[in-house]
Every structure is written in C-alpha cells, then in structure tokens.
Structure 1
C-alpha cells in the first residue's frame, strides 16, 4: 500500500469537481503492479473506493474526487488529503453485489454476454446495480440488464437500457 498526502485541485468540469494528484514515483510503482491502472483508494481513512489512476496527459496521474466524496470528507478545494492506494486485484475493478451474481448464476446465456463485455462496460453495469440499496431492486435491475444483453446479442445500448428501466419500473 502506498500512502501520501496531496492537495485537492479544482477542475473546470461539470462532471468532476476535484482531482487528487498522485506523485510520479507512487504512480509508477502502482502501474507496475496493476497494469490496468485500477486501484483501491482510501481517502483520509474514511472513504474507500475502486477507481483508476487517471493520466493527466503530461505523464502524471491523479485520482478523481466527486462532490459526494468531498462532502463525506468535509473538505474543500486546495485542502490537503491523505490517500492510501493499493492495486485493485478484484475481478471487475469494483465489487459485484450478491444479487447480480445470483442473476448471472441462474442465466448461463446472460452470464456469457456479460463476461464478453469490455471491462469498462462491466463496471458501468455493476455500478448501475450497486447504486441501489434495496436487495429486491438490485435483483430487478440485474434481471433487466441481463435481459437487455440477451435481447441485443451482448451489446449495450444505454439509451434503450434506460427506457427498459423506466418501462419495467419496480
């Protein structure tokens, strides 16, 4: 695990509020251990998340920090933050809820289509399920996702998927 302090830098972006720059020496160590640049990040010992070392374009890297995380940490731009980073050795680069796993286990064709997706699409679909707290809603979303993959031959059409979520409300 690599631990360091850095200052939060404000971005001019509607999506992401802040970044936490990662020292070059630490980024090099982590990239050597995690070729896909996925890491587990613990911020100020409170907030833990699966994320990626994002390239800045000049050879340096950073971690994205969103508004929700900023609020949880009680921090403002330009304040110092303590980060602990370790390579993410999980299968998908984020956790898979047991409800999604159960739906995959019960549908071999759906599991085949899911496993054939790119890692980023898998993470996006897992995130869609992970954002719900209620177990029945997680199952409902998981079933819709797997049905969508089967209907589209393993392709993800996010506009269509969103319509399917609305049409098949829980």
Structure 2
C-alpha cells in the first residue's frame, strides 16, 4: 500500500492545501487520484478522503470549513497531513447504515451501482453529514425509495416523497 510521510501544510485560499510533488507523484503514477488522508493538529487527528487536483501546475486537495472545524484550525495555522492509497470501494467510507439499507434492498442497490462514482460519493457524503445513526438510516431509506422510482435530481433524491 502506498503511503506518504507526515508533512506540514497550511491552507491556500479558503479551503485548498498544496501537496508537494514529491508526495503526490507516487500516487498519481500508480493511478490513485483519490487518496485517504489523516490530518493532525495539536492533539486532534481525523481521517478523510479526497481527490488530488492539479491546479496551476501544483497538486491540491480540498480541505473545507467542515474539516477545518473538525481539526480545530484557523486559516493561518500550520498542520500536518499524511496520504494513503484509497482502498475504499467508492472513494469514501460507506456508512454502515447506508450499506445495510442497500444490502436489504437489491433493487435500490442495483440502481445505486448504476450511478457514476461522483454521484455515489455525493449520496454517501449526504448520509455521512448526519451523526445520529437513526437519522442516517432514515436518509438512506429515503434515497433508496427515491432512486427506485427514478428520481435522480440531486435536490429531489434526498427529499421524502412519501406520506
């Protein structure tokens, strides 16, 4: 499995982080555009998934406000990152509640599997926004029912259309 050493970074703009070429290149050379990362600041650490983007000749990764808040950093802080090969099926960890709903509903699972990788990730991220397990189950059930009846609009797919 490919991994990097921990290295120091800071935010570039409001939510970007520059990844040094020496860190990013082994992943890109091995066709790993999506990576799993661990961020470290003081006594905090958390894991997340992201995509390596080339912007103006530099490798970048998004590190949005939600991640900044979770890590406890301000825009001027330096923190550390470590990259790992992403071995997840969808480029993000599937919440167990969403997986259980799909496992129990083969028709919804088949429709979900027909979506693009990006659409799958966006639905997974939507369910991951909720911390409460029951809420995750409820949202996953709504999504599975909607995709079975052909709703694919991102704004509608997460709304309850049933009494």
Instruction: Give the TM-score category using the shorter length.
Output: 0.7 to 0.9
Cα gap change, 1:99/1:88 in structure 2, threshold over 3 Å: closer, same or farther? same
Alpha-carbon displacement from aligned partner over 1:43-100 (angstroms, at most 9, x marks no partner): 12612111111221x3321111122322333333343221100111100111112211
Q: Deviations over 1:23-49 (max 9, x none)?
A: 11221111123x251111111261211
Gap runs ≥5 in structure 2: none
**SS, match of residue 156 in structure 2:** helix
* Correspondence for 1:158 among 145, 149, 154: 154
CA–CA distance in 1 between the matches of 2:139 and 2:88?
A: 22
Which residue pairs with 1:27 in the alignment?
24
Mapped to 2, the partners of 1:66 and 1:50 lie a distance apart of 12
**Do 2:9 and 2:80's aligned partners in 1 also have CA atoms closer than 8 Å?**
yes
What's the offset of the Cα at 1:145?
Answer: 0.6
Which structure shows the bigger proportion of residues in helix conformation? 1
Q: Secondary structure at the match of 1:159?
A: coil
Aligned mates of 1:99, 1:27 — CA distance in 2 = 33
| Structure 2 match to 1:134 | 132
Please state if 1:6 is matched with 2:35. no
TM-score where L is the length of structure 1: 0.82
Residue number in structure 1 paired with 2:53: 54
Runs (4+) of structure 1 exceeding 4 A deviation are: none
Name the stretch that deviates more: 112-121 or 64-73. Answer: 64-73
**Structure 1 residue matching 2:155: 3-state secondary structure:** helix
CA distance in 1, matches of 2:155, 2:47: 30
Q: Which moved more, 1:1-10 or 1:79-88?
A: 1-10
Change in CA separation of 1:104 and 1:84 when aligned onto 2, cut-off 3 Å? same
> Number of residues paired by the alignment?
157
Give a deviation string over 1:94-151, Cα, whole Å, max 9, x none: 1112211111111111111001111111011111111112222212111111111111
